[in-house]
Structure 1
Amino acid sequence: MLDKIIYLNKSFNFKPNVEAPKAMLKAYPIYSESPLKLISFDKGNHVFVKDETERMNIGSFKATGGIYAVAQLISRKWYSMYGKALRPGDFHTPSVKKFASNITFVCASAGNHGLAVAAGANIFGAKAIIYLSNSVPNSFALRLENYGAEVVYSGGTYEQSCQTAIEYSKCSDDVLLADSAWIGYVDPPMLIMEGYTIIAEELREKFEYNNNWPTHVFVQAGVGGLAGSLTHMIRMNWKKQPKIIVIEPEAAPCLLESAKSSTPVAVTGPLSNMGRLDCKEPSLIALNILAKSDVEYLTVSDGEAMSAAQKLAENEVHTTPSGAAGFAGLIKYNPPINAQPLVIITEGVLL
C-alpha cells in the first residue's frame, strides 16, 4: 500500500472548498461549534484548548470529516445517476434515503474514524462495515453497532485491518472510505480532510474576532489527516502565522521519519497507549502538505501522554492519551514564557 515515491506530487495537492463543509454540516442539528477554552498551563501561563471531546455527539474531531465525506459520496453517486446535485436539505427526503440505503461504506479504523463513518451512514440512510484491529477495545465495537454498523475484527494492527478492508472493497461494490491516501486512492481521504477544515475555520473566526492569535500550534497525528488539514488552512488564511509542531507517539513517528527521508516511510514499533495515533504508515496527502508548510516534529512517550491527560482532567477537560498528545507535546516543547500556545483535544474519554 505504501509506495516509495517522492511525495511532492500534484495528484496529492489539497485544494479544499472550505465553504462546502460549513454548508453541509451546519444544515443539521447535530452540528455545533466545539468550544475554545483558555486553561492554566504552567507558572500562571495559559493555553488555548480547542475541545473536540463532545463534537457532534461522537466525541471526536473525526465527526467533521467522516460524516461530511459520506454525504459528499452519496451526493456524487446521486449526480451520476440523475444528473442533479443534492443540496444539504435533500438528504432526509424519502427518495434520497431510499437511494442511500443501497450504498455501503467500508473502512478500517482505530476507533473514531469508524464512528464518524458509521454515524454518517446512519444519518443519511446508508450502511457501514467497519474493520477493527484486535487491539481496539470492545467499547468501540459496541458504539459502532449502536449506529447500525457491521463490525469485523481483523489483524493485530491498524495497518492489517486497513489491508483487509481494501481487499474486501475490491471484491464488492461497496465504497471504501479510508482516511489515509496512497497511489491510486486520493479523493475520499481528501473529502475527509476537507471536512476537517471547519475546525480551522472555527478557530480562525474566533482569533480574528478577538484579535488574539496563538504563537504555537501543537497538533497530534496518526496518518496525518488533521495535522495536514489544519496546517493547510493556517498557512492559507490565518493573519498571524504561528509555529506548527506536529506531535506523534514515539512508537509511531511515520510523519517524522518520512520528512527526514523525503519519501514515505513505514515505521515499526510496539503498540502505543495513544491508540488513535498508533499508525505506522502516513497519508501521502498529509505528507505533501506538511513538506511545504514549515512545520516541526516532536514525539512523546506513552507516559508523557498519560500525564498530560491527567493534567487536563485537573482543568475539567477529560480525554485520553491520544486526545492529550498535543498537550503532552506542548509540555515537552516548553515554549517561551510569553507564548500563547494552542492545542487540539481530539477526543473525549472512551467509555
Structure 2
Amino acid sequence: MKTTDDLTFQPDFHRAIEYFRGQEAYQTSPLREVSGPDGQTIWLKDETSRMGLGAFKALGGPYAVARLIMQGWTAETGEEIEASRLKDADLRAFASGQTFVCASAGNHGLGVAAGAQALGARARIFLAKTVPQSFDERLAERGAEVVRAGETYDDSVAEAIADADRTGATLLADGTWPGYTDIPKLVMEGYTVIAEELRSNFETTGIWPTHVYLQAGVGGLAAAMAHMIRRNWAEQPELIVVEPEAAPCLVASHEAGKPVRADGPDSNMGRLDCKEPSIVAWQTLERSGVRFVTLTEDEGEAAARAVTGLGMATTPSGAAGYAALCKEFPEGAPRAEFRPLVIISEGPA
C-alpha cells in the first residue's frame, strides 16, 4: 500500500464503530466511578478486559488488519465489500496469503496477531528484550510467529521494517514516521471507539469530565482521543498527556516545535517507553490544546498498586493517567467542579 507524509488525522469513526458493533466479542468497556485521593470521585475507563486481549489496543491492530484486507481485495478484484464479507470463504482464502509484520512493546502485537488469526491471515511480531516473556506465549496462542530482535523497542521497529522490505509482508506499525503515515492512521481510527463510547455515556447523564488524562507512548491513543474530544464532545475538558520521565518524546517535541527523539533509560512503564513520537500523533496533539505531565518510575508503580487495589489489576503503563492525577492533586478537599477521567489502558502483562 502506498504511503504518504500526510499528517492530517481525519478518521472515519462511524466506520470504526460500525465494524466493532458487528463483532461478537465487542462490548462497551466499563466506565467506573471510584473514590480517589481525599475522597475525590474519579471516572476510570476500564480497558483491562477489552475483547479478550486485556488492553485498548484490541481496537487498533484488529481493525487495521480488517481494513487492509478489505482494501487489498478491492485493489485486486475491483469489488467494494462490507466487513461482513470477511467471513466468506473467498475472502479468507485471500487473507491466508497475507502476512502482517510489526514491532511491539506487547499489546499492539497482540492486537495484530489476534486480528490476523481471526481473519485467516498470518502475523510476525518483533519484540525487544525489554518486553516481558509472558507476551511470547500470548502471541503464540494467537498464531503469531514471535521474533526476539534487539535491545530496545527502536531496534525491534528497525527489524520489522527490514523484514517487511525483504519478504513483502505488510508493515502494520502503530507509530508514524516520514514516508509511513497511512496505515497507522487505521490503528488510530480504531481507538476513536473509546472516545465515542464515553461521549455516549456522558451525553446520557449530562455530566462531563473537566479533566482527561491520556497516557502516551508514541501517542496514538492520546491523539485519537484528543481529536475526538475536541471534535464532538459537548463540554470541553482540559486534556493532559502523560509520559514517563524516561521517554518524554511528545513533550520534548512540543517544546522543540517539531518531532524529536527523547532518549533515556528503560522505563517500567514498558508500553509507554517509546523514545520517538508518531509524527501524526504529534501534530494531532499540537492542534488539540493539550498539556503534559511526566512520571517517575516510582509514581507509575504506586499508581499501579493503587488501581489494582480498586479492583482493576493493571500495570504502571495502564495506571499512568491515575498517577498523573495523583501527582497533580496529592492532597486537599474534594472539589465539586473537578471531574477527572482516567483511561486504565491495560490489564496485567
TM-score by length of 2: 0.96
Following superposition, the deviation at residue 131 of structure 1 comes to 0.3
Q: Tell me by how many angstroms 1:23 deviates.
A: 1.2
Question: Displacement, 1:86?
Answer: 2.1
Is the contact between residue 5 and residue 178 of structure 2 (CA under 8 Å) also seen in structure 1?
A: no
Q: Which residue of 2 aligns with 1:340?
A: 339
Equivalent residue for 1:145, pick from 128, 132, 140:
140
Unaligned runs of 5+ in 2: none
- Correspondence 1:300-319 to 2 at 5 A: 300-319=295-314
In structure 2, what is the equivalent of residue 187 of structure 1? 182
Deviation at residue 49 of structure 1 after TM alignment:
0.4
Contact 1:12 1:288 in 2 (8 A): yes
1:4 is matched with none
List runs of 5+ in structure 1 lacking aligned partners. Answer: 1-8
1:320, 1:349 within 8 Å by CA — same for their partners in 2?
yes
Select 1:84's aligned residue among 72, 79, 92: 79
C-alpha distance in 2 between matches for 1:71 and 1:260: 37
2:348 corresponds to which residue? 349
Amino acid at match of 1:299: T
Deviations, residues 194-243 of structure 1 (Å, cap 9, x unaligned): 00000000000000010010000001000000000000000000000000
Runs of 4 or more consecutive aligned structure 1 residues displaced over 4 Å after TM superposition: none
Q: Equivalent residue of 1:130, what SS? A: strand
State percent identity of aligned pairs.
49
Q: Does 1:246 align with 2:241?
A: yes
> CA contact under 8 A between 1:59 and 1:348: conserved in structure 2?
yes
Q: Is the 8 A contact 2:127 2:148 kept in 1?
A: yes
Q: Is 2:107 aligned against 1:109?
A: no
Matches within 5 A, 1:77-226: 77-226=72-221
1:92 to partner: Cα distance: 1.1
- Name the structure 2 match of 1:3: none
Give a deviation string over 1:231-267, Cα, whole Å, max 9, x none. Answer: 0000000000000000000100000000000011111
**Residue 259 (structure 2) pairs with residue 260 (structure 1):** no
The question of whether the paired residues in 1 share the 8 Å contact of 2:5 and 2:180 is answered with no
SS of the residue 1:38 aligns to: strand
Q: CA deviation at 1:70?
A: 0.2
Alignment partner of 1:171: what SS? helix
Shift of 1:268: 1.1
Tell me which of 227, 244, 253 is aligned to 2:222: 227
AA in 2 matched with 1:337? R
Shift of 1:10: 7.9
* Structure 1 residue 280 corresponds to structure 2 residue 275: yes
C-alpha displacement of 1:161: 0.3
Pairwise CA distance, 1:334? 1.4
Q: Any residues of structure 2 matched to 1:285-296 within 5 Å, and which?
A: 285-296=280-291
CA distance in 1, matches of 2:131, 2:64: 23
SS at match of 1:148: coil
Q: Which amino acid aligns with 2:339?
A: Q
Aligned residue pairs total 342
Aligned to 1:61: 56
Q: Which moved more, 1:98-107 or 1:134-143?
A: 134-143
| Paired residue type of 1:269 | G
Residue number among 6, 13, 32 corresponding to 2:8 in the alignment: 13
Q: Is the 8 A contact 1:23 1:88 kept in 2?
A: no
Q: Normalising to structure 1: TM-score of the pair?
A: 0.96
How far has the Cα of 1:337 moved from its partner?
Answer: 2.3
Q: Is the Cα–Cα contact under 8 Å of residues 5 and 179 in structure 2 kept in the other structure?
A: no
2-structure distance, mates of 1:86, 1:105: 21
